[in-house]
Structure 1
């Protein structure tokens, strides 16, 4: 894996409510009774967060925040940064201080870091399949409820791009909108009549005759080509001749990305980046 471009870290102010909620869930109503029972008060230790398999690391900022929220006195030293390529045995972070505090924050820190690293690693694999083309890989809104912002950050760490964060970011006309509104032309006419000039519009089509309607009517900045086979995607690229941005979506699995990118579409979006990524194996060792 090649090194990834670094994305700007999110402010801790945004991350803190997510991490605090996870810590409260894990600590329960009475805290870490195991640690309190077996670890003598005042015991100090040094722990290392290590990689146990190769990939792209993400979630280190969140892991460090989890330890700091449990105990601000812990000394945390980062040896890798989010977006770095990692190998088995790599030291990612050292945490020194009160042993009980480290143990109480361990699971939440690992849950976030393992989950986000898995997303970044899968994204990097998708991106690698587009090498030699201008096609970019992007995620979707198929994210874990409450964790969208950090999962989308992990996509950036893997070299991908972000789609909308919420329904209020942009207009995305899906098949159900078209059905309810009476067709492609009526929805685009409504957008042109009502939408702010500051808002971009994307429309989903699953047939080439719908694409022709979109091109004839105008009003869309991006066309989402949904569940089209590779031959139809190639024809769509020919039809549009770069008049609009094209996004291929639906059934975009890793083994298909290279052939889809070769059609010349501008973007490939895949919900699998966030909803089907395997957790990367990281461990905390005393």
Structure 2
């Protein structure tokens, strides 16, 4: 079961999202066309195969748009979906349902799209020891939601923010002499509970950063041969993470080299929207 997001975060994010639609005079189409007393029943249904995520914010959208709406939850985040499968049933005032429609679909479409793409990557590496993880290439203000979607698709967590771990990248290294020097400086300043990861783009730097005290080494845009060599050289003394240009076509080959972690930015920055619809019943 996918853990729920903090309720205060969900409420505040949904409030901001609804405010994008409900400003000025509000939903002037429904106010002009739909009688105030009109009542409806809708089901929110998938239009394609994939993985569900986003129920929590979607339910919150309908709750905020219509406190008296009746909402039946018909599925759970992480469930596989088929076309025409219903995930929510909503009954109540027609105007309130229509007020919530697009915002609820946006949350579900974005998060289920990420979960669906993540599941494709996870399925590609079944039988290897590698894990698929996200990056910080997320939509500003929606990171917690998008990372939850990665988890719903079977992915594993990476850093949530800059304070989670030390990750030394190329621009940090540019300010000092070498990757190994950066790791030594980090080791001197970090507490014993903080992990240190260092990005390298040359195989010859691996032994140096391991000797300097790295816990994790990020192998940036390594080819398959160099990844294999790195796994042999590291001999499980550090965690190896492959990153850079990972695709569905290449991820299996990368996982079979023996690396433990594969970080994939496209999970959150390039996932296609999942198609849902709100249908009258």
For residues 182-238 of structure 1, give each alpha carbon's deviation from its aligned partner in whole angstroms, at most 9, with x where no partner exists: 212221121121111121111101111111211222x21111000001111010000
Match in the other structure for 2:55: 60
Unaligned runs of 5+ in 2: none
Which residue among 215, 226, 242 is the counterpart of 1:232? Answer: 226
Normalized against structure 1, the TM-score is what? 0.96
Match in the other structure for 1:131: 126
SS in 1 for 2:225: helix
The answer on whether the counterparts of 1:12 and 1:65 sit within 8 Å (CA) in structure 2 is no
* Aligned counterparts of 2:210 and 2:193: Cα–Cα separation in 1: 21
Matches within 5 A, 1:253-268: 253-268=247-262
Give structure 1 regions of 4+ aligned residues with deviation exceeding 3 angstroms.
none
Q: What's the CA shift for 1:43?
A: 1.1
Match in the other structure for 1:24: 19
1:141 is aligned to 2:136: yes
For residues 234-286 of structure 1, give each alpha carbon's deviation from its aligned partner in whole angstroms, at most 9, with x where no partner exists: 10000000000011000001110111010010010010000010001110011
* Aligned counterparts of 1:201 and 1:36: Cα–Cα separation in 2: 57
For residues 152-204 of structure 1, give each alpha carbon's deviation from its aligned partner in whole angstroms, at most 9, with x where no partner exists: 00000000012111111110000110111221222112112111112111110
* Aligned counterparts of 1:192 and 1:106: Cα–Cα separation in 2: 51
For residues 32-57 of structure 1, give each alpha carbon's deviation from its aligned partner in whole angstroms, at most 9, with x where no partner exists: 11111111012111111001100001
* Aligned counterparts of 2:190 and 2:211: Cα–Cα separation in 1: 19
Matches within 5 A, 1:113-128: 113-128=108-123
Normalized against structure 2, the TM-score is what? 0.98
* Aligned counterparts of 1:12 and 1:192: Cα–Cα separation in 2: 37
Matches within 5 A, 1:56-135: 56-135=51-130
SS in 2 for 1:126: helix
* Aligned counterparts of 1:215 and 1:81: Cα–Cα separation in 2: 43
Which residue among 187, 193, 198 is the counterpart of 1:192? Answer: 187
SS in 1 for 2:249: helix
* Aligned counterparts of 1:242 and 1:30: Cα–Cα separation in 2: 62
* Aligned counterparts of 1:114 and 1:184: Cα–Cα separation in 2: 41
The answer on whether the counterparts of 2:187 and 2:196 sit within 8 Å (CA) in structure 1 is no
For residues 56-114 of structure 1, give each alpha carbon's deviation from its aligned partner in whole angstroms, at most 9, with x where no partner exists: 01111111110101111111111111100000010111011111000000000000100
Aligned-CA RMSD value: 0.8
* Aligned counterparts of 2:149 and 2:265: Cα–Cα separation in 1: 13
> How many residues are paired up?
280
Match in the other structure for 1:161: 156
Match in the other structure for 2:172: 177
Match in the other structure for 1:283: 277
Unaligned runs of 5+ in 1: 1-5
